[in-house]
Amino acid sequence: MIPSEEINRIRNDANIVDIISSYINLEPKGKNFFGLCPFHEDHNPSMSVSPDKQIYTCFVCGASGNVFTFVQNYENVTFPEAVSIVASKIGYNLKYQKNINQPHKELYEIIDISTKYFVNNLNSILGKEAKEYLKKRQLNDVIVKEFNIGVALGNNLSKLLLGKGFTEKQIIDIGIANKKDDDLYDIFQNRITFPINNERGEPIAFSARVYNMESPNKYLNSKENPIFKKGNVLFNYDKAKNEVNKSKSIIIVEGHIDAIRVYSIGVKNVVATMGTALTKEHITLLKKLNAKIILMFDNDEAGLKGTIAIGEELIKNNLAVEVVRLSEEKDPDSYILRFGPEKFKELLKKPQSFFEFKLQYLRSNKDLNKSKDLANYINGVIEELNKSDDDILKEVTINKLCSDYNLDKEVLLKKLTKKDKVSNSNPIIIKKTIPKLNKYQKVCEAILYMMMKDIKYLKIYDRNLGYIPDKKYNQIANDILACYKLNQEFNIADFISFEVKSTYYDIVLRIINQYEEMEPNYEEFDDYLEAIKKWIKEEQINKLKEEIDKETDINRQIELNDLLMKLKKESE
């Protein structure tokens, strides 16, 4: 549990515009900032972020809250984890430990122990040959340590794990061992081990490479298990995500060795797909980074086709994509080893647009002096243009085709399909349906907003009224007072954290958003309080009338009637 004082301190230190900007692009417009809402399919900026109130609101889907709720919903984590993430982003040392009673706790422990075991092997006398191999591959001690690279030597790990109390089933399920003739045997033997981490940096699997023998399987990867699904993981994501803010880009390579090599020369914003197709989970991870994607796949036919398939999927998901092609070597690892870090970094500075890359690929293996090849190429270009909404790109490309190949522009224009134009100049603001309220409910909501807006109204309410006949509004008012008394101050962003588990959380967010243009004044607030007092009297009168109707004792009826007359007179 994180103390509320610490939550408030982190919230006050964190600028909501800076934090949300690390996830989505924000542009200033008036006193607020606008961006595409990540919580629904948004193609026009409909999310507003207020630096004054330190809250965000989507005018289309209604998503709203403070910095913690944004991170919680975007990262799909618990509230304490969201607080921890924000603390990390602003450099706040939060001594929060997540609950160790996580599902599959023992499986995480097995992988952690195995990682340390392999590292110890590498640093022992028996690991000398493996160390020499890594040096030959120009992987220095710093990188070996940073990536927890180790070596699996013999058949002792499963025995060690059994000795620590883990069951055979757990050791087999996690992919460390298998069973043959009633005996456990280690799956990874005589291989260099590379831990695969989840996005939190916890090891969950291994990729292991032979180094001192011939094998038909150069690499052996952990099987999928309850904590490792290949389609959910990008190698090095846990480290790369912290580098993206500096570079505003993320490089995607195929193999984990490529990622380690690129990282080793100081280009740390790199992840690897490890040979799997791009999944929805991968796209979710990449969207969290709010960064341009640079694809750098192997320079073979499979790599080129993979670049196109993955690039198109990323663009469908509104991610910016560029491509760096390694024309003189097969992959980033071999390119850096042959040409050195500086030439590689120069290459990174000159990426192609994804569209240019596709045109280059369409031209490959074609003799454009032949009519059939040229026609196939032109038709391919038109097909790509028809996928685009960029009219300028279409115009420039058509003009270039006409100039380069002496073509009739009208013929090409006829092959372009028309798309409905959607203006992106201003946010489309569609207010969520606001519930119909009676006059007293409107007064209650105005009072609550004014209490949240300015502490002086909170104090007046507490002193002069202190009660609202409506259960939900009364509870919200009590929560406002409780939050103030707890912190000895009050602001809306802190109250959102205070109220996050409340039954009436959505009502609080709606009131904050609906009344944000309201400028409170004493006279208006006093009128609202008087209206509530009148409502209380009306409620009392109605209750008395019901009692009189049910009362059978004549003397008691007279007493109640006298009280009724008195209340009516007071309410006039």
Dihedral angle computed from the Cα positions of residues 328, 324, 263 and 243, in that order, rounded to the nearest 10 degrees: 170
Q: What CATH architecture applies to the domain 237-352?
A: 3-Layer(aba) Sandwich (3.40)
Distance CA 173, CA 159 (A): 15
450: buried, middle or exposed (CB in 10 Å: 19+, 13-18, 0-12)?
A: buried
pLDDT at 429: 40
150-164, 461-475, 502-516, 544-558, range with the lowest pLDDT: 544-558
Segment 187-205 shows an average pLDDT of 94
pLDDT at 543: 83
Give the full edge-to-edge strand order of the sheet including 270-272.
Answer: 270-272, 249-253, 292-295, 321-323, 352-353
Q: Among 268, 320, 257, 310, which Cα is nearest to 36's? A: 320
pLDDT at 428: 40
Are the C-beta atoms of residues 519 and 452 closer than 8 Å to each other? no
pLDDT at 368: 85
pLDDT at 297: 93
Beta-carbon count within 10 A of 178 CB? 14
Q: Among 416, 408, 366, 356, which Cα is nearest to 386's? A: 416
Distance CA 288, CA 487 (A): 33
Task: Report CA 22 to chain centroid distance, whole Å.
Answer: 10
Looking at the domain that runs over 105-228, which CATH code has it been given? 3.90.980.10
Residue 351 pLDDT level (bands cut at 50, 70, 90): very high
pLDDT at 430: 41
Q: Among 154, 152, 176, which Cα is nearest to 164's? A: 176
pLDDT at 433: 56
Q: How confident is the model over 391-408, as pLDDT tens digits?
A: 888 888 889 889 888 888
Distance CA 209, CA 190 (A): 8
Are the C-beta atoms of residues 184 and 175 closer than 8 Å to each other? no
Are the C-beta atoms of residues 149 and 122 closer than 8 Å to each other? yes
pLDDT at 427: 41
Q: How confident is the model over 67-95, as pLDDT tens digits?
A: 999 998 887 778 888 898 899 889 888 86
Residue 572 pLDDT level (bands cut at 50, 70, 90): low
Tell me how far CA of residue 460 lies from CA of 443, 457, 548, in angstroms: 15, 5, 35
Segment 102-131 shows an average pLDDT of 93
Quick check: helix, strand or coil at residue 369?
Answer: coil
pLDDT at 424: 43
Does 98 score more than 60 pLDDT? no
Q: How confident is the model over 257-287, as pLDDT tens digits?
A: 999 999 999 999 999 998 888 898 999 899 8
Are the C-beta atoms of residues 460 and 525 closer than 8 Å to each other? yes
The angle formed by the CA atoms of residues 406, 411 and 417, to the nearest 5 degrees, is: 130
pLDDT at 139: 95
Residue 140 pLDDT level (bands cut at 50, 70, 90): very high
Segment 427-446 shows an average pLDDT of 73
pLDDT at 497: 79
- 414 DSSP 8-state letter: H
- Residue 266 has which token pair? 């100081």
Quick check: helix, strand or coil at residue 353?
Answer: strand
Beta-carbon count within 10 A of 11 CB? 21
Q: How confident is the model over 286-298, as pLDDT tens digits?
A: 988 888 999 999 8
pLDDT at 300: 86
Residue 97 pLDDT level (bands cut at 50, 70, 90): low
Residue 381: phi and psi, rounded to 5, are: -65, -45
- The DSSP-derived string for 520-537 is --HHHHHHHHHHHHHHHH
Does 540 score more than 80 pLDDT? yes
Q: How confident is the model over 517-528, as pLDDT tens digits?
A: 888 899 999 999
Residue 335: phi and psi, rounded to 5, are: -65, -45
pLDDT at 269: 95
pLDDT at 294: 96
Does 175 score more than 90 pLDDT? yes
Does 451 score more than 50 pLDDT? yes
Identity of the residue numbered 242: N
pLDDT at 421: 47
Distance CA 476, CA 471 (A): 9
Orientation of helix 67-75 relative to helix 492-499, angle to 10°: 50
Q: Mean pLDDT in the chain?
A: 87
Distance CA 169, CA 156 (A): 17
For domain 4-89, give the fold. DNA Primase; Chain A (3.90.580)
Does 102 score more than 70 pLDDT? no
- The DSSP-derived string for 283-308 is HHHHHHHT-EEEE---SSHHHHHHHH
Instruction: Give me the residue spans of the domains in the chain.
Output: 4-89, 105-228, 237-352, 366-415, 439-569
In the block, residue with structure tokens 């009219």 = 391
- Residue 156 has which token pair? 């002792």
Does 560 score more than 80 pLDDT? no
Return the percentage of the chain with pLDDT > 90, whole number: 47
pLDDT at 422: 44
Q: Among 134, 57, 52, 105, which Cα is nearest to 508's? A: 57
Give the full edge-to-edge strand order of the sheet including 27-29.
Answer: 27-29, 32-35, 47-50, 55-58, 64-65
Residue 419 pLDDT level (bands cut at 50, 70, 90): low
Give the pairing of strands 219-221 and 203-210: antiparallel
224-238, 400-414, 473-487, range with the lowest pLDDT: 400-414
Does 40 score more than 90 pLDDT? no
